[in-house]
């Protein structure tokens, strides 16, 4: 008797997420689970998709996003579907020390319920942000936490990890996380270690001090026992360019010595963050309201200007490592005409100082301005992409305005530019970096590979035409070449269009 399925995909080569070469076969889906069939095996289905010339793979898993509340946007202004249009069926959020709980949402359960109520096209897994924890317990002041406060942070983290959060994240260039010393972070990472979950870090410095910052992360992992994952690994700024020739061999050696260490990367030479992060840590002491007060004070602005020019010990200083000509406005709701323009250009046009321009813009926007920083070099990006322990993460910041194109282009760009056009990666290797490797790192059981009984999260794409179409001037067009995306057995994208199906949920890891 022939097997019968809800959905049958036939004619496509199967890239199973393990790194094995694509092979002929069929994928059957029943009740949200996968069955792998040999080519030509007799089978019927409620729906049959014939896809010769295509590849069927596990749904892509974005190792690094900031999409925690994108699907919860009541006004519908955020580009919520850019990830799933590329074939991303799971997004890992809560990165860089910033999560939606404990904060806007009391705990992991409240966060999960909010997404269940709103409905999602794809799944979400979340880390617990160290900065969010610190702010919830100790506020935003530039000080060490007390013994009791650290104990409280550990308890909250323990509860969240027990409920299903995927690990601990830090963003050690961002306040209030940057106010923490190594011992504080190590104590929290030890909680993650007890759960067998990773310590995921935006290093304290990704520029001139990247090697020292990496060693801090290694020390935290060793002393806590937690697996280490380095977020969006890069060596940026003119004093950091070429640094991957030293950091990647260091990571190779650590792995050879038995350390569980991995990283993720996005395929662009520009990053994106908040404009306020370009200012020294002391300017943020006490939180955003205090920052805005300081920005109104000419003397305080002068201090910020001097800090950028001269540096502050332990501070990454993006502008000092690059320049205002490399910083462009990505999102400023009240000033859309500034989108895409550099701070240097705006200052020149206004015959003003760049720090004064920054201050005036942040004040006019109540502190909410995102930027794009053109700070990296292509050879460094390529080295990280090809490292065997690297997985793919967009670092997508889905905010209104003119955001970084990585939110809509990362996965298609890897497959189109770096696999097909440049041959930097093989197809099977690239798919593994997008699927099986990421699932293993974040404890996503039954995902990231195509085996009998695994969750039916799938993407069908044409390897000859898949490509990113998002650019810095037009950052949100979806990719070409993605034919079908399936989440929990339901078709959520077909021929570049999002369907009405909302089978996604917050996953417990």
Which strand ranges, in their side-by-side order, compose the sheet holding 327-331? 271-274, 370-373, 327-331
User: Given this model, what pLDDT does residue 226 score?
Assistant: 98
H helices within 353-502, ranges in order?
354-364, 378-386, 406-413, 427-434, 436-441
User: Given this model, what pLDDT does residue 74 score?
Assistant: 82
Q: Which two tokens stand for residue 334?
A: 């009240």
Domain with CATH 3.20.20.140 in the chain: 59-272+374-443
Torsion sign across C-alpha atoms 47, 436, 390, 84: positive
What residues have CB less than 8 Å from 341, skipping those under 6 apart?
328, 329
Give the three-state DSSP class for 486.
Answer: strand
Q: Does residue 496 contact residue 408 with C-beta atoms inside 8 Å?
A: no
User: Given this model, what pLDDT does residue 355 score?
Assistant: 97
Q: What is the largest CA-CA distance in the chain?
A: 82
C-alpha to C-alpha distance for 55 and 369, rounded to whole angstroms: 40
Residues in the chain: 509
Select from 508, 507, 503 the least CA-distant residue to 121: 503
Q: What count of other Cβ atoms lies within 10 Å of the Cβ of residue 132?
A: 25
Give the three-state DSSP class for 457.
Answer: coil
Residue written as token pair 């925690």? 68
Q: Which CATH number fits domain 59-272+374-443: 3.30.360.10, 3.20.20.140, 3.30.70.1450, 3.30.160.270?
A: 3.20.20.140
User: Which residues lie across from 274 on neighbouring strands?
Assistant: 370
**DSSP secondary structure string for all residues of 270-332:** -EEEEGGGGS-GGGGTT-HHHHHHHHT-HHHHHHHHHHHHH--TT---TTTTS-GGGEEEEE-
What residues have CB less than 8 Å from 468, skipping those under 6 apart?
405, 408, 409, 410, 412, 413, 416, 417, 479
Q: What count of other Cβ atoms lies within 10 Å of the Cβ of residue 136?
A: 16
Q: Does residue 10 contact residue 50 with C-beta atoms inside 8 Å?
A: yes
Separation of first and last alpha carbons in the chain: 38
Q: Which residues of the chain have pLDDT under 70?
A: 1
User: Given this model, what pLDDT does residue 1 score?
Assistant: 62
**DSSP secondary structure string for all residues of 64-108:** -B--TTGGG-TT--S-TTHHHHTTEEEEEES-TT--STTTTSSSH
């Amino acid at each position: 008797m022939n097997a019968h399925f809800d959905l049958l995909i036939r004619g496509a080569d199967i890239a199973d997420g393990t790194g094995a070469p694509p092979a002929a076969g069929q994928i059957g889906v029943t009740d949200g689970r996968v069955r792998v069939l040999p080519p030509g095996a007799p089978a019927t289905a409620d729906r049959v998709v014939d896809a010769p010339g295509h590849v069927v793979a596990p749904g892509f898993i974005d190792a690094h996003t900031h999409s925690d509340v994108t699907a919860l946007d009541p006004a519908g202004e955020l580009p919520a579907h850019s990830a799933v249009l590329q074939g991303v069926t799971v997004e890992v959020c809560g990165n860089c020390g910033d999560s939606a709980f404990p904060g806007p949402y009391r705990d992991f359960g409240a966060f999960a319920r909010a997404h269940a109520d709103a409905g999602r096209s794809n799944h979400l897994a979340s880390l617990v942000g160290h900065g969010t924890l610190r702010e919830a317990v100790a506020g935003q002041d530039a000080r060490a936490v007390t013994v009791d406060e650290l104990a409280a942070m550990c308890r909250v983290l323990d509860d969240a990890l027990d409920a299903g959060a995927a690990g601990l994240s830090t963003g050690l260039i961002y306040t209030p996380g940057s106010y923490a010393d190594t011992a504080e972070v190590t104590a929290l990472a030890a909680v993650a270690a007890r759960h067998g979950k990773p310590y995921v870090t935006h290093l304290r410095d990704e520029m001139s001090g990247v090697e020292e910052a990496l060693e801090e992360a290694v020390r935290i992992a060793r002393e806590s026992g937690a697996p280490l994952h380095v977020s969006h690994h890069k060596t940026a700024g003119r004093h950091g360019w070429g640094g991957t020739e030293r950091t990647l061999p260091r990571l190779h050696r650590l792995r050879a010595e038995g350390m569980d260490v991995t990283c993720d990367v996005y395929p662009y030479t520009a990053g994106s963050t908040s404009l306020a992060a370009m200012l020294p840590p002391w300017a943020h002491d006490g939180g955003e309201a205090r920052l805005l007060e300081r920005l109104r004070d000419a003397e305080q602005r002068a201090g910020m200007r001097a800090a950028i020019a001269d540096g502050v010990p332990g501070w990454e200083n993006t502008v000092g490592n690059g320049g205002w000509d490399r910083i462009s406005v990505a999102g400023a709701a009240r000033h859309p005409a500034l989108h895409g323009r550099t701070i240097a250009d705006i200052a020149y046009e206004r015959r003003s100082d760049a720090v004064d321009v920054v201050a005036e813009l942040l004040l006019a926007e109540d502190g909410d301005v995102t930027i794009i920083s053109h700070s990296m070099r292509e050879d460094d990006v390529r080295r990280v992409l090809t490292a065997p322990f690297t997985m793919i993460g967009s670092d997508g910041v889905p905010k209104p305005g003119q955001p970084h194109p990585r939110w809509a282009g990362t996965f298609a760009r890897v497959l189109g530019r770096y696999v097909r056009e440049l041959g930097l990666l093989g197809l099977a290797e690239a798919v593994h970096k997008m699927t099986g490797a990421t699932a293993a790192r974040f404890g996503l059981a039954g995902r990231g590979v195509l085996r009998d009984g695994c969750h039916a999260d799938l993407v069908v794409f044409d390897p000859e035409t898949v490509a990113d179409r998002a650019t810095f001037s037009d950052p949100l067009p979806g990719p070409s070449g993605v034919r079908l995306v399936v989440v929990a057995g339901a078709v959520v994208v077909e021929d570049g269009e999002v369907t009405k199906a909302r089978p996604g949920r917050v996953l417990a890891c």
